[in-house]
Structure 1
Amino acid sequence: MEWEKFLETQEREFGKETIDRWLRSLQLQRFDAGNLYLEAKDSFQVLWFEEHIRHKLSQFRNRNQRPIKVHLSLAGGKQAKKPASSKKEQAKQPDHIYFEELDPSCTFEDFILFEENEIGYRVLDELCTKILAKQTSEFNPLYFYGPPGSGKTHLLQATAERLRRAGYNAIYVRAELFTDHVVRSIRIGEMSHFRKLYRNADILLVDDVQCFARKNATQEEFFHTFNTLHIAGKQIILAANVTPQSLAFIEPRLISRFEWGISLPLAAPEKKNLIKLIEKKAAFLNFPIASRISEFLAETFFTNPKSAVRALEALILRSHLHQNGKQQPKQPLQISVIKNLLSDLIDNEKTNSLSPERIVAAVAEYYTILPEDLCGKSQAREFVTARQVAMYLCRSLLKIPYMKIGEFFTRDHSTVMAAIKQVQKQVDLIQNDVAAACNAIQLKLL
């Protein structure tokens, strides 16, 4: 069967002994057209599966080329949480449309509160209470914006999970997957199925709406889907990395509708709160850690809380294997050992720590202006110079295509090219304010 074939392919990467120990020892509970149910003997086997295997299962397909969902539970009657689904959603979907599972850890109960995300949590928790009481919200749509790691996806999935458990048809979808549904439906002439599926939602939650940029057919369909649901009084919840007004290459009529309700900011946690998040997650995973370890993880993986949590999960698994490979009694983890166990993740963090957001923040600090002014529309000289320097650094340090830089700064690519060319000329001359700024900012970033 497909599962055994998959195991054989993984043997070439991990070796037969490793696969026998960590994968083949999983108990196959049942297997149907769209679901594979497996049982793990302990939490370490679950962690190994999640770190090394889960992301590879996208290649699983049934005869209709729809993904096969893999469900993993713990032995001994302790079931891992399974994503909730409403009765409506369990009805047969068109073969060309599929939805990703909700992350079972993304619930309101598992959400870690800190001041930067508390307002989002309170608003959505109250919204669920209203919907379950058959009341309508005065804010529709709800629009959340913030950087990666600020909790947007967790909150949207937690809302979908709670409402599905109550029997509501809550559709959670990433903007890229919505686009894929549009493209597939157009290609095979099944737009009627697509429209029926989305427009029958009780609640529609769309993540990463900035990914609708430049996708004209998708924006057209989403416009009509939005209108249909809004007129019917159905709740719409959206999330993006920027405010509605800052969305690049999105039709004005959509931006206008995104602003009909209320827009709420979310922020990534400060270091002290990231430490709390790591420690709470460690306690949840039954792996209490010393404060020096949580501080090390927070300092090392500061760019994205998700990276810090993934590093913690990897540490739990790898330290278990590391200790089991020794004959002497278990010793407290030392930072030097942790650095060795997580060396690949630490290297990746150093490589990926630079981002357009960090560059903008550094440039804004250098010129003593606000990041929103740097990214805004003002043509004041101090803002224009800082903006051009930021574009130049995004290109030179991150190797981002001109079009992507344009999307980030809400400018067309020809404007970006001209700005970068102008800064490059100044940098080549060496002795000038712009060259000095670029050098100073690069030193701080690197």
Structure 2
Amino acid sequence: MTMNPETAWKATLGELELQMTKATFNTWLKGTHLLSYKDQTYVIGVRNAYAKDWLENRLLDTILRTLAAIVRERVNIQFEVKDAVENNDFSPAPAHLNGKNNETQTPAPPAKTRAMGTSPLNNLTRRYTFSTYVVGASNRLAHAAALSVSENPGETYNPLFVYGGVGLGKTHLLQAIGNKCQQAGYSVCYISSETFTNDLIQSIRNKQMAQFRERYRTVDVLIIDDVQFIAGKESTQEELFHTFNELYSNGKQVVISSDRPPKAMATLEERLQSRFEWGLMADIQLPDVETRKAILQAKAEQMGVYIPEEAVDYISQHIQRSIRELEGAFNKVMAYAQLADGRIDMEMVKMALADQVRQPEKLSVDRVLDTVCSYYNVSREDLISPTRGKAIAFPRQMGMYLARTETKASLPQIGMKLGNRDHSTVLYGYKKINELIETDASIRREAMEIKANLYESGSYPASNRY
């Protein structure tokens, strides 16, 4: 007897709930339902375009495999955004785990407790808005989640934990949330973790803890930047733990940023680590070249200046470590342009960035291979050896790729440095890494980090990849 499609989908959700973490299931699948079924194709309603994109790109294979196993036939799945207003049973906020007993609790919708702009510690910069934030492959998840939080604070992705390296735009994104929420009439407190700690110390000294707690526990949206600095500070962690609980239990939004995920903070209390992971964790990676170009073009538009396309290409190709460094390079070019009566040409751009731009002709294959070895914590002997295990083969191929792109050495010359390997082997390694960089964000990030290290003094910390 063929299973009813509606029943099949409900059974699939039940099975997926067992397979996935509660946070994943509640965020992406809870509340979805069957819209239609025809010719073995299940059309599933989801609450927004972001959820649709996530399901299609991250969870589709798992869902298809589970559904096919239940109905015992090959199936297709399509996701469609269904207006939550038309479907009252289709707008649940993600439930979150209770840290003590793993029961779910649904926060109450936040009330707008204060008039706009009266929060005591918002410290928001008006220019940091979503309209001035350039979105690319490296930050798309974080941007979409931040936008969703700003539209429905306390109802989705609570807390929102954004992490990534220095100068990649975390502060811009957090302040964009704060500005949008404040414009909507919510009271917002935006602070750095250092400010939170200093305020706590001062309040203890002055015996004003009641006022301290009033400041942080009565806002609609609490945004804490660079939370990694509270690691190891017991009193700060204790106070933040209780502040978090108070806000969360009242359905208020908490947004946090860090330069690393919670589990990587060795001296962060486990109970705080657990709470930071309750909602959605979104990382921001190094921007790819297209995103860097878009950032430069947006910057020029904001300043009302014209910068030639070839200059944009040059800057974006050579300045790669962070958005902060990219904007610094742009500002330096603009400063030089003012001295040249506003004229921007390639000679002037190269002159302005001479101390920042790498010079590939000065690099040797040996330096490239030594840098790769340092990054992956392997030896030159490992790279030269006939070993084919992934722990050695991958760094070897990365060395081939970077030696090809960052030096003027020929394929045979690179092969000679790697144990007299044939030029066809080097070409294969180059193409393999090139393909991975196009499809795998983590590999792209590694390649960019190694490149950045090639042109600066000092050693780069070894990667944990292998």
- Name the TM tier (shorter chain): 0.5 to 0.7
Query: For residues 241 and 337 of structure 1, what CA distance do their matches in structure 2 show?
Result: 35
Aligned-pair identity in percent equals 28
Letter in 2 for 1:335: M
Post-superposition Cα deviations, 1:195-227, rounded to whole Å, max 9, x if no partner, equal 100001101111111111221211111111111
Q: Is 2:132 the counterpart of 1:114?
A: no
1:237 aligned partner? 255
Query: For residues 104 and 130 of structure 1, what CA distance do their matches in structure 2 show?
Result: 20
Deviation at 1:102, TM superposition (A): 2.0
Letter in 2 for 1:338: V
Q: Is 2:200 the counterpart of 1:182?
A: yes
Paired residues of 1:319 and 1:341 also in contact (CA < 8 A)? no
Paired residue secondary structure (2:210): helix
Query: For residues 271 and 119 of structure 1, what CA distance do their matches in structure 2 show?
Result: 18
2:212 aligned partner? 194
Q: Is 2:355 the counterpart of 1:338?
A: no
Letter in 2 for 1:336: E
Query: For residues 294 and 316 of structure 1, what CA distance do their matches in structure 2 show?
Result: 12
Q: Is 2:151 the counterpart of 1:129?
A: yes
Paired residues of 1:148 and 1:268 also in contact (CA < 8 A)? no
Q: Is 2:310 the counterpart of 1:285?
A: no
- The correspondence for 1:157, drawn from 158, 175, 182, is 175
Query: For residues 116 and 333 of structure 2, what CA distance do their matches in structure 1 show?
Result: 40
Paired residues of 1:362 and 1:445 also in contact (CA < 8 A)? no
Query: For residues 360 and 229 of structure 1, what CA distance do their matches in structure 2 show?
Result: 47
Q: Is 2:325 the counterpart of 1:301?
A: no
Query: For residues 117 and 210 of structure 2, what CA distance do their matches in structure 1 show?
Result: 17
Letter in 1 for 2:115: K
Query: For residues 101 and 145 of structure 1, what CA distance do their matches in structure 2 show?
Result: 20
Deviation at 1:298, TM superposition (A): 2.2
**TM-aligned CA distance change 1:444 to 1:367, over 3 Å:** farther
Query: For residues 202 and 109 of structure 1, what CA distance do their matches in structure 2 show?
Result: 23
Superposition pairs for residues 4-43 of structure 1, below 5 Å?
Answer: none
**TM-aligned CA distance change 1:90 to 1:290, over 3 Å:** same
1:227 aligned partner? 245
**TM-aligned CA distance change 1:167 to 1:361, over 3 Å:** farther
Paired residue secondary structure (2:311): helix
Superposition pairs for residues 31-70 of structure 1, below 5 Å?
Answer: none
Query: For residues 361 and 147 of structure 1, what CA distance do their matches in structure 2 show?
Result: 20
Letter in 2 for 1:323: A
**TM-aligned CA distance change 1:193 to 1:114, over 3 Å:** same
Deviation at 1:305, TM superposition (A): 1.0
Paired residue secondary structure (1:109): helix
Deviation at 1:100, TM superposition (A): 6.7
After TM superposition, the structure 1 stretch with the greater mean CA deviation from structure 2, 147-156 or 198-207, is 147-156
Letter in 1 for 2:129: T
Paired residues of 1:114 and 1:273 also in contact (CA < 8 A)? yes
Q: Is 2:183 the counterpart of 1:141?
A: no
Query: For residues 229 and 283 of structure 2, what CA distance do their matches in structure 1 show?
Result: 18
Q: Is 2:132 the counterpart of 1:104?
A: no
Post-superposition Cα deviations, 1:49-103, rounded to whole Å, max 9, x if no partner, equal xxxxxxxxxxxxxxxxxxxxxxxxxxxxxxxxxxxxx736537x5xxxxx47322
Post-superposition Cα deviations, 1:136-175, rounded to whole Å, max 9, x if no partner, equal 5243211111112332211110010011112111111111
2:118 aligned partner? 90
Query: For residues 149 and 317 of structure 1, what CA distance do their matches in structure 2 show?
Result: 21
Superposition pairs for residues 240-389 of structure 1, below 5 Å?
Answer: 240-320=258-338, 322-324=339-341, 332-341=343-352, 363-365=374-376, 367=378
1:66 aligned partner? none
Paired residue secondary structure (2:291): helix
Paired residue secondary structure (2:340): helix
Paired residue secondary structure (1:206): strand
Q: CA RMSD in A?
A: 3.1
Paired residues of 1:302 and 1:308 also in contact (CA < 8 A)? yes
TM-score normalised to structure 1 length = 0.53
Letter in 2 for 1:156: L
Query: For residues 122 and 118 of structure 2, what CA distance do their matches in structure 1 show?
Result: 13
Q: Which has more radius of gyration?
A: 2
After TM superposition, the structure 1 stretch with the greater mean CA deviation from structure 2, 178-187 or 336-345, is 336-345
Paired residue secondary structure (2:162): strand
Q: Structure 1 regions of 5+ residues with no counterpart?
A: 1-85, 94-98, 325-329, 348-358, 369-381, 387-440
Deviation at 1:444, TM superposition (A): 7.8
Letter in 2 for 1:87: A
Query: For residues 315 and 276 of structure 1, what CA distance do their matches in structure 2 show?
Result: 17
Deviation at 1:280, TM superposition (A): 2.0
Deviation at 1:114, TM superposition (A): 0.7
Deviation at 1:307, TM superposition (A): 1.5
**TM-aligned CA distance change 1:365 to 1:273, over 3 Å:** farther
Figure out how many residues of one structure are paired with residues of the other and give that number: 264
Query: For residues 361 and 101 of structure 1, what CA distance do their matches in structure 2 show?
Result: 42
After TM superposition, the structure 1 stretch with the greater mean CA deviation from structure 2, 99-108 or 272-281, is 99-108
Letter in 2 for 1:213: A
TM-score normalised to structure 2 length = 0.51
Paired residues of 1:149 and 1:268 also in contact (CA < 8 A)? no
Deviation at 1:365, TM superposition (A): 4.1
Q: Is 2:192 the counterpart of 1:170?
A: no
**TM-aligned CA distance change 1:299 to 1:366, over 3 Å:** farther
**TM-aligned CA distance change 1:175 to 1:137, over 3 Å:** same
Letter in 2 for 1:232: N
Q: Is 2:224 the counterpart of 1:206?
A: yes
**TM-aligned CA distance change 1:361 to 1:152, over 3 Å:** farther
2:449 aligned partner? none
Paired residues of 2:230 and 2:236 also in contact (CA < 8 A)? yes
Superposition pairs for residues 71-86 of structure 1, below 5 Å?
Answer: none
Q: Structure 2 regions of 5+ residues with no counterpart?
A: 1-113, 359-369, 380-390, 396-451, 458-466
